[in-house]
Amino acid sequence: MAATILAHKGHSVLIIDGAAHPKFAIGESTVPLTSQTFEHLAAQTGIPELLTLARGPQGIREKIGTTCGIKRAFCFLYHREGEENRPEENNLFGNVWRDENHLYRQDVDTYIFRAALRYGADALENTRVSSVELDDDGVTVSTVKGQRFRARYLIDGSGPRSPFIKQHELAERPTSLRTNTRTIFTHMTDVKSYDDCVDNPFSQPWSTGTNHHVFDGGWFWVIAFDNWEGATNKVASVGLTLDADRYPPRDDVSPEEEFAEFVGKYPSIARQFEDARAVRPWIRAPKIQHSSRQCVGDRYCLMAHSYGFVDPLYSIGLIMTVTAVSKLVDPLCKALETDEFAREDFLDVEKAMVRRLRYADMLIYGSYKSWSNYNLWNAWVRLWAIGLHALESIFASHLMMGKYSKYELVEDYITSEYEPQGYKALIEAGYASISAYADGTIDADACAKQLWKLIEDYDFEVRLRPEPEFDGVEWAMRTPDVHDLFLGVPENHERWRKEQVDPWIPSDTPA
């Protein structure tokens, strides 16, 4: 993406890739914030291919094809070992404003890659880098094939096994990230719609959202690409991510066997996978967290996935990537004009990456801890949802109104300059509570009580839906027995205005 933008601006760009497009990648689920950042980038650069991505499923179908799925909601489905999934322990968060995407990355990435070539970038695929030397005047990249290339600036998007990070000892060892998880994933065919496996009293079909099957110790993702009429791609992205402290890496079973073992523990999930078959080899990663000591230096920038990663939960990785590109474009183009590439001029990129990675770590660490108790999870997940919905509203206001937006940008942010003013304090207080629970200082009930109190006291400075006909969202967000938080359904708002919980919640459900 960065190469596409730089080439479009007329700069000389060389892409060196150890593999070749089309290629498998995860990071498939977008949220409105991802598309808004694409929209910001498209406006910043005037590149039509970025506008395609910003336009969501419609843009992708028109310009890329019918292999991507839609995402209308985050579906969090809570499971207890050996038991059927209970509807009253599920949570749905979504917004009707526009559909988001399940990106079939090999097609989307190829589209952006080809755009880079069309705008004049050169590319060397199936080419591995052996060393990268930095000096005062530029960067020298050598490949295992014996080629040498000279550049003025390096953007490293090669991920945690980056030869540049290794050679220059940029990895933070051990990582300061508190989350410790491992994962198993692939693409599968014949994964059933979850609507065919359980009763669904919610306002939206589970199949039109990203399925997160969460349980004490881990979670499964199911990202369908064929969840709309006209879809042509019958596979789904599936994965299992586990708390590695609780479930240490194993080499006594294959990844497929281990995946099946966990599926078998949860009857409702087992039905979804009973006919499923992998269409590509399984991948198992024994630890997925990594971080770097710095994100930018004189003449280089580590792209988000090279800089650090926590866990696929909440789809934060792709937002970080698009944000990094968005923050890098202006200072880099200026540097290419002045030929000054000092680290100090790129610190805004580093600030964004450091803060987003830390926020992801806090949120995800807390999520794994909270899955031991549904009431605790039901409170914890709202800290994320409150921030995401408000952030999208403020970002939308800035995109629409420009400098005339009434919302001021936050300088000392926890995740984004577009977050609401009080959000950092909310997350820090919530994280202190969940850490106390993790350390054994307080029990789950006490922790949940503290979190619900924080939510109750939180000042919703930004109304999550400002239109009068959509009143009641803040009440719903604060109320444990409202689980269907799809904001676009008028019936939901009518009920919330009357302070009525989801009608199908059993009356004996503990608050």
Partner 1 sequence: MTEANTIEADIREYIISNILDNQDDGNLTAESPLLEWGILNSLQILSLVDFMETKYSIKIEPTDLRPQNMATISSIAALVRTRQG
Question: Site residues (CB under 8 A) for partner 1?
Answer: 39, 42-43, 51, 54-56, 58, 97-98, 396-397, 399-406, 466-467
Nearest CB to partner 1, comparing residues 54 and 352: 54
Strands 14-16 and 122-124: parallel
CB of 37 to partner 1, least distance (A): 12
CB of 340 to partner 1, least distance (A): 31
CB of 54 to partner 1, least distance (A): 5
CA–CA separation, 310 vs 356, rounded Å?
A: 10
CB of 53 to partner 1, least distance (A): 10
Max distance between CA atoms of the chain, in angstroms, equals 71
β-partners of residue 151 are 139
Query: How far is residue 505 CA from its own chain's centroid?
Result: 30
Backbone angles phi, psi at 361, to 5 degrees: -65, -45
The single residue listed with the structure tokens 């000279």 is 150
Structure tokens at 315: 């789809």
Q: What stretches of 349-430 adopt beta strand conformation (E)?
A: none
Nearest CB to partner 1, comparing residues 56 and 308: 56
Question: DSSP assignment of 487-511, as one string?
Answer: TT-HHHHHHHHTT---TTS-TT---
Q: For residue 74, which amino acid is it?
A: F
CB of 5 to partner 1, least distance (A): 17
Nearest CB to partner 1, comparing residues 51 and 385: 51
**23: burial class by Cβ within 10 Å (0-12, 13-18, 19+)?**
middle
CB of 399 to partner 1, least distance (A): 7
452, 479 in Cβ contact below 8 A?
no
Nearest CB to partner 1, comparing residues 393 and 479: 393
Nearest CB to partner 1, comparing residues 99 and 258: 99
Nearest CB to partner 1, comparing residues 36 and 227: 36
Question: DSSP assignment of 419-446, as one string?
Answer: S-TTHHHHHHHHHHHHHHHHTTSS-HHH
CA–CA separation, 227 vs 100, rounded Å?
A: 12
Residues 6+ apart with CB under 8 A from 431: 362, 366
Nearest CB to partner 1, comparing residues 44 and 143: 44
Element counts in the chain: helices (H) and strands (E): 16, 21
Nearest CB to partner 1, comparing residues 229 and 404: 404
Nearest CB to partner 1, comparing residues 400 and 456: 400
DSSP-derived secondary structure letter, 265: T
CB of 254 to partner 1, least distance (A): 45
CB of 224 to partner 1, least distance (A): 23
Query: How far is residue 274 CA from its own chain's centroid?
Result: 28
CB of 417 to partner 1, least distance (A): 17
Nearest CB to partner 1, comparing residues 53 and 295: 53
CB of 28 to partner 1, least distance (A): 21
Q: Is the peptide bond before 255 cis (omega within 30 degrees of 0)?
A: no
Structure tokens at 302: 């580590």
CB of 97 to partner 1, least distance (A): 7
Structure tokens at 431: 């994280």
Q: For residue 131, which amino acid is it?
A: S
Backbone angles phi, psi at 81, to 5 degrees: -60, 130
Nearest CB to partner 1, comparing residues 245 and 461: 461
Nearest CB to partner 1, comparing residues 50 and 155: 50
Distances (CA, A) of 431 to 23, 102, 177, 414, 438: 37, 30, 14, 12, 10
Query: How far is residue 473 CA from its own chain's centroid?
Result: 24
CB of 428 to partner 1, least distance (A): 29
Q: Tell me which H or E stretch contains 336.
A: helix 316-338
83, 218 in Cβ contact below 8 A?
no
